[in-house]
Chain A
Amino acid sequence: MHTIEVTFKTRLKNAFAEHKQREILDLGFQVKFVKEVTLYSIDKKFSKKDLNILAQELFSDPLIQEFSVDRSLIGKFSWDWLIHVKNLPGVKDNTGERAQEAIQDILHTKFNKGEAVYTSKYFLIKGCLNKPDVEKIAKGVFAYESVESWHVIDKKTYLEKGYMPEIPKVLIAHKPKISKLELGSVQELLSLSKQKNLALNIEEMQKIKEYFLRADVIKNRKHIGLDNNPTDAELEVLAQTWSEHCKHKIFNAYVEYTEGGKTKYINSLFKTYIRASTEKLKKKLKWMVSTLWDNSGVIEFNNNYLFAFKCETHNSPSAKYPYGGALTGIVGVYRDPMGTGKGCKLIYGTYGFCTGEPNYDGDLKPEIHPKRLLEGVRQGVQDGGNKHGVPTPYGIVFFDNGYLGKPALYVLAAGLIPKIINGEGGSEKQTDPGDLIIMCGGKVGIDGIHGATESSMEGGKHITLGHVQMGDPYTQKKMHDFLSEARDKNLYTCIQDCGAGGLSSSVGEMGYNFGRSKPKDVAKGFELHLDKVPIKYKGLDPWQILVSESQERMILSVSPKKIKEFMALAKRHEVEATAIGTFNSSGKFHCLYNNKHVSFMDMEFVHEGVPQLRLEAQWLTPQSRGLSEPEIPKIKNHAKFFKKMLARPNISSKEYIVRQFDHEVQATSVIKHLVGEESDVHSDAVVIRPDFESKKAIAIASGINPKYSPIDTYHMTANAFDEAIRRIVAIGGNLKKIVLNDNFCWPSTLSGKDNPDAKYKMAQLVRANQALYDYTLAYGTPCISGKDSMSMDTTIPDTHGKEHRISSLPTVMFSSAGIIDNYKKCVTMDVKHPGDLVFVLGKTYDECGGSEYYEMFGEIGLNVPIVRTKKAIKLYKALSEVIESGLVASAHGCYKGGLGVALAQISFAGGYGLEINLDFVPRENVDNTDKLLYSESASRFIVTVPRKYEKEFRRIMKGNDIKLVGKVVGKKILTLKGLKGQIILKENIEVLKRVWKEPFNTIKP
C-alpha cells in the first residue's frame, strides 16, 4: 500500500476552505483554518521512482499544489484537529477508478483483480474545540453518514502515535450460494417478507405460495431439479417486479370512492384517468407516436426526428444522501430516453427541488437540514448534467416544511431519435428469440440492492441504505456516445435501461413481449447466466447479482451475427459489455449460476401475477374540514408589504442555482432561464433548438403548486397543469402541440395505525387524477409519460427526542414540452421599450386560497383558484396568434404572488418603469386592491405591445377579457394606482430587484 498526499499551497486563495468555514459557523462553531488534503491510496506495489512520477505527472499541479509520497505532509501545518473522511466499503470511487486508468497509461502496467486506487480526504481544522464538537462538524459538514465514515484525531495524539489511514476495501468472506425458502403459515409468510425486506403483503405472499404448489409448476421445476420451495432469487425477483415502484399498485388498485354520500368504483386510477385520456387524445393527434409503454413517451418533433421525455423522482435516496441521490437520479433518468425506442441522443434535462425552508429553525430536527440538503441535491444535478454534456436549462425550487422529512427530487431527461434508422422506425424495437443478452456499462456490486422495494417504504431506521449510491456521469457519457454509434450501425435489436430491480426487471421486461415491431416473433423468455455478469468484488450471492441496482448499466439484445462488431466498438469507447445469456421463446424466467438453476418461473406469472390492491377513498369537503375565508387586515404600507412578498422563499430569485448548471452546452439554447437587460430574471419557460438544420424548437416548462392541496387536490392539479401550459404559451408556444409528464408525490394512502386518514389521502389522489383527465382532454395536451412516488412520509425527532410523523403535501408536478414551429418568433417576459402599452389578459377573481398572500398571515383560506377551461383555451389561442404575428414585445404569465409580483418582474427585468392603474384590471368580485394585487387566479398574463400594433392586437384578442392598464416608462420607477385612483406604490425598480435577488444571493465570491 502506498499513499500520495496532495494539498494546495497555503498562500493561494482557497474558496473551498472559506465555504467550509462558513458551514461550520452555521453549525455554531468558530474555526480559524480549514485545510484539505487529498489522499490517493494505491493498493498495488510500485517503486519509489514510479510513485514520484505519478505524484508529479498525474496527482498534482506543480504551480499550485504540493505533494508527499509514502509519508504524510500534514505535520508541518498548524492545526488542532484532523478529520479523515473516506467512503464506506463498496461505495463507488469515481476518481480512484480514473486514477487507475491513468496509471496504466503512464507506467504501462496493469492492475490485477483486488488491486485498486482509493481516494479519501483529510480536513485539518484550527480552533478551540473538543472532540464531540469535531465529531459534530465531521458529520454536519464534511461527511454523509450513509456513504462515508470518518475518524477524528487531535494533534497531540497524532504526533505521539501517528495515524495510518486504512482503505475501504471490500472483502466478503462468503461463498456464493443458492438458498431455498419454505413458504409456511400466514404468520411465517409475513415474517419472511419482513425479515428479507421484500415489502410484499399477505395476499401477495399467498399468491406466490399458490403458484409454487401448482401441479404443472411442480412438474416443470422437478424436471430441471428444483422443488416446490422458491429459491431466494425467485422470491427476490417477485418482490422487485411486484414492488410499488415497478408495478404502481396504488395507481392500479380497485378503489371504492365516496363523495357526499355517493359511492363509485374505479378499477385502476391509471387506466381510468391517465391512460384513458392519453389514448383518447392519441386517436386525434397524429403526431403522438408511442406512449405509456416504453421508458419514455415519444412524439414527432420534425420531419427527421422524434422527441421523447420522462421525469422521475429520486426522493428516498436524496433524503439520506442528497448529493449521491440527486446525481444517481439525474444520471438514471437519462437512461430512460437512452433506452426509448432504438435509443435517443440526450438534448436536455430539468430539475425540481422541493425541500423544507432553507432557513428553517423550528423544533424538528431532520437528519439533514434543508439548507444542506438543497445544496447537496443541487450539486448532484450539477455534476450529473454538466459531466454528461446535457444542458440543464430549466427547473424549479419549491419550499414547504412538509418536505422536511422527505424531499421531492424531480429529474427529467429528453432526447431525440431519428424517425427512420436503417429503414425502421426510430421508436420501434424488439427482442428476437436467439438474441444475446448484453449487459453494458458498469459492474455489479452490493450497492443498490432493494432500491425498488425500499423506495416504496416509509422512511426510517429499517432502511438499509443499500440503495443509496454514487452515480458516475463519466462512465455513462462514454456509454451514451458508444450506443449512439452502435444504434446507427444497426448493431442491436432492442435496448432497455437497467434501473430499479436491476437485471431482474430489465432482462425480465425485455424477455416478455417487449417491443412493437413484429409482435408475433418477439422473445418470450430467457436464459441468464449470473456467473458471467462482471462483478466488482467476490462473494456476491446469485440473487444479489440478479437484483442489484448498480448504476450506469443498459441491457441490449444483440444478434449473434453482429456481436463481434458490437464488442469491437465497445472496446474503442472503453465501455464494458458482456454477453450474459440468451433470449428465447421458452416463456420462462430462467437464471443459472455455474450451471446450477437459480430461478425457473413462468414469465406470465412474474409479470401478471400480482394481485390487485383494494383501497377505500373518502372525500371530505374543505368546509367539512373547517376551512373558510379569513378576515385579513388591509395593507397599510404597500411598499413594505410588496418588498416582503418579493423576498419570500418561493418567489425570490434562484439565479445562483440556474448559473451552476451548464444550461447551454450543445449550443441549442434559444431562450435561457435568465433573461432581461442584465440576464438575471427568470423567463416563463426556456427554448432550445436541438436540430441545427430545422427552425423547430422545444419550449420547456413545468407547473407545481401543492399549497392548494389542503383545500382541494382537484384544483391543485388543475392549477399545476394550467401553469405548465401557460408558461409555454407565454414564450410563444401553442396549444396545438404540447405534451406533458405527470409526477405524483403523495403521502401514503395505505391504512395503518400511524396513518389514520389514509382514506382521505386516497380520495385526494382520486380527485387529482380526475383533474388530470378533465384538463388534458379539454386542452388537447396529453401526458405521454409519468411516474408516482407514494410514500412521502417519514418520522423525525424534535429537540426533545420525541418522534413525529411528517408527510409532504400531496404534490403533482407537470413537466411540459411544447413544439414551436419557428424559434425566431419566441418572446421573453422583460419589457422592451418605453411607450409600449401594458395589457392584462384574463380575469382576476377573489381567489386567494392557498396563496402566498394568505400564507403571510398564516391562513389557508377557501377560495382556491379555479381553472376555467373555455376562457383559458380561447385566450391561449389568441395569445399564441399575436405572438406568432410579432405584435407582442413581451409576455409574462401570472404565477405565485399574482399580478403584483409579475408586474415587478417584467419591469426590473426590462430595466424600465411602469405606470399602472389597477382599476383597469379585468376582474370579477374583487373589490379591494390587496386581493387584486395578490390573488393567484389562473390563466392570466401581462403583455406589452408597441403602440403601432395596438389595433391589430385588439382585433385578434377580441372576445377575451383583456384591458389596457398602463404603459412602460423610461424612468426606473414602478407606479401602481389602487382601485380608488390613489398611488399605492412608487418604487425604484433597482431597489425592488435587489430585494428580490437578496435572499439567495450567495453566489458572491
Chain B
Amino acid sequence: MRKVKVLVLYGHGINCDNETKKAFELAGACVEKAHTNELIEGSKKLDSYDILAFPGGFSFGDDIAAGKIHAVKFKYKLKKNLLKFISDKKLIIGICNGFQIMVKLGFLPGINDDYWTQKVTLAFNDSGKFEDRWINLKVEKSPCVFTKGIKNLYLPIRHGEGKFYAEPKTLAKLKKENLIVLRYANPNGEKASKYPHNPNGSLDNIAGICDPSGRIFGLMPHPEAYIYRENHPKHTRETLPEKGVGLAIFENAVKYVKENL
C-alpha cells in the first residue's frame, strides 16, 4: 500500500503541531514534524511529502497581525518550493493560525491562478475577545477534498482574529465557484443567525474556504481538537461515536492522496 507522507510544521510559536500530527497518524498517514527553518536550510525537503499542514498556534506571537509574519517568511524564503508543491497537485491544510497564514499569503482562495496576492482576510472578532467555544458547522457543496461526504461538524473555535471578510466582488466569486466550504450554523444545522453561533461576526458565516482545485483548504475551527470521543464537551451526557468526528477531515485527505497521487 502507498504510504501517505504528511509534513506538519512547528516552531516559531505554532502550538497545535502534536495533535495535528496525531490526527494524521490516526488517519493512517506517516507524519513528520519540521521546523520552518529546516525547510529553509534544506535539511528537510517539502518535495518528499504529499500533504503540508499549517497547524494552529500563535506564530510570531500574533504580533502585527495573526499569521502575518509567518506568511512573510514563506513568501520570501520558500516561494519556489511552495509553488512546486501546489503545481504537483499536493494537498495543503491550514487550521486557525495556519488558515490566517494562508489567507495572508494569498494561497486562499487562490482564485484566478494567483496564490500570492491577499484577497480576503481574517480580522478581529466582533466581540473584541479571544474565545474558546464549540460551534456547529454546515458543510457546503464545494470541490474541497477534505470535507467530502461530511454534512455537519461540531468543533471548537479558539481565536481572537477569525472574522472572515472580503469585498463584495470577491465574495460573489467565492459563491459562484463554490469555494465556501464551511459555514457557522445554528444547533439545528441551518446558517447561524447571530452570536454565539456565529462566534466572530464572519461575513456570510464563513468558517472555511478552499481554492478552486479543492486541494488547498483553510478553516478557523479545530478538527484536530476532536480526535477522541472525550474531547467533546458533552460526552458525559450524550450518545456519541467512539471515534472523534474531527478525524474525518484528515481521513479524507489521506484517502485522496492514496487514490489520486
Contact = CB atoms under 8 A, between A and B. Distances in A.
A98 B59 CA distance: 11
Nearest to B234: A679
Contacts of A824: 230
A105 B68 CA distance: 13
B58 A61 contact: no
B19 A98 contact: no
A672 B76 CA distance: 41
A609 B151 CA distance: 70
B156 A664 contact: yes
A611 to B, nearest CB: 45
Interface size class of B (residues with CB under 8 A): 35 or more
A57 B236 contact: no
B80 interface: no
A669 B57 CA distance: 17
A472 B57 CA distance: 15
B66 to A, nearest CB: 10
Contact of B15 (A94, A477, A672): A477
A15 interface: yes
Nearest to A13: B126
A666 B38 CA distance: 23
A103 B80 CA distance: 20
A56 to B, nearest CB: 10
B16 interface: yes
Contacts of A832: 236-237
Given A16-B124, A105-B72, A665 B15 contact: yes
A481 B10 contact: yes
A971 interface: no
Interface stretch (A76-84, A381-389, A785-793): A381-389
A389 B230 CA distance: 20
Interface stretch (B84-92, B128-136, B173-181, B212-220): B128-136
B11 A386 contact: no
A15 B63 contact: no
B37 A98 contact: no
B13 A478 contact: yes
A671 B69 CA distance: 35
Given A64-B121, A661-B132, A665-B15, A98 B61 contact: yes
Given A481-B10, A572-B38, A666-B18, A98 B123 contact: no
A63 B166 contact: yes
A667 B22 contact: yes
B231 A664 contact: yes
Contacts of B12: 478, 574
Contacts of A101: 60, 69
A63 B118 contact: yes
B41 A387 contact: no
A64 B14 CA distance: 25
A661 B234 CA distance: 19
A343 B11 CA distance: 18
Interface in A671-721: 671-672, 674-677, 679, 689, 692
Contacts of B3: none
Contacts of B165: 12, 63-64
B225 interface: yes
Given A666-B19, A679-B134, A832-B237, A58 B68 contact: yes
A679 B56 CA distance: 23
B186 interface: no
Given A15-B127, A63-B165, A389-B16, A669 B231 contact: yes
B1 interface: no
Interface in B15-41: 15-16, 18-19, 22-23, 35, 37-38, 41
A823 B57 CA distance: 26
Contact of A472 (B61, B125, B233): B61
B73 interface: yes
Contact of B60 (A61, A474, A669): A474
B74 to A, nearest CB: 10
Nearest to B119: A63
Given A106-B72, A477-B13, A478-B11, A98 B132 contact: no
Contacts of A99: 63-64, 69
Contacts, number: 189
Interface size class of A (residues with CB under 8 A): 35 or more
A94 to B, nearest CB: 6
A602 interface: no
Contact of B77 (A98, A105, A670): A105
Given A667-B224, A1004-B195, A660 B236 contact: no
B11 A662 contact: no
Nearest to A62: B118
A828 interface: yes
B227 interface: yes
A99 B125 CA distance: 23
B204 interface: no
A659 interface: yes
Interface in A468-515: 472-474, 477-478, 481
B138 interface: no
B201 interface: yes
B167 interface: yes
Given A95-B64, A826-B236, A664 B230 contact: no
A1003 interface: yes
Interface in B65-124: 65, 68-69, 72-73, 75-77, 104, 118, 120-121, 123-124
Contact of A389 (B15, B62, B68, B128): B15
**Candidate in B16, B126, B234 with the most chain A CB atoms within 10 angstroms:** B234
A128 interface: no
Interface string B198-239: 000100000000000000000000001111101101101100
Nearest to A667: B19
A57 B121 CA distance: 14
B107 to A, nearest CB: 15
B197 interface: no
A18 interface: yes
Contacts of B132: 658-664
B158 interface: yes
A41 to B, nearest CB: 14
A1005 interface: yes
Given A661-B132, A674-B233, A1005-B201, A386 B58 contact: yes
A61 B118 contact: yes
Interface in A849-871: none
B229 to A, nearest CB: 9
A505 B128 CA distance: 41
Given A57-B72, A102-B69, A667 B125 contact: no
B25 to A, nearest CB: 9
A208 to B, nearest CB: 43
B124 A63 contact: no
Contacts of A1005: 125-128, 195, 201
Nearest to B244: A667
Contact of B158 (A63, A662, A672): A662
B167 A63 contact: yes
**Candidate in A59, A62, A474, A667 with the most chain B CB atoms within 10 angstroms:** A667
Contacts of B35: 572-573
Nearest to B58: A387
Ordered nearest first, which 3 A-B pairs have the shortest CB separation?
A: A389-B15, A15-B128, A474-B61
Interface of B: 10-16, 18-19, 22-23, 35, 37-38, 41, 56-58, 60-65, 68-69, 72-73, 75-77, 104, 118, 120-121, 123-134, 156, 158, 165-167, 195, 201, 224-228, 230-231, 233-234, 236-237
21 contacts: A12-B123, A12-B165, A16-B124, A61-B121, A64-B121, A64-B165, A98-B64, A98-B69, A105-B77, A389-B13, A474-B58, A477-B58, A478-B13, A573-B37, A662-B158, A665-B19, A667-B16, A667-B19, A670-B230, A679-B233, A692-B22
Given A105-B77, A659-B132, A669-B230, 16 more contacts: A12-B165, A15-B129, A61-B68, A63-B120, A64-B165, A94-B63, A106-B76, A389-B57, A473-B58, A473-B61, A474-B63, A660-B131, A662-B158, A674-B233, A675-B234, A824-B230
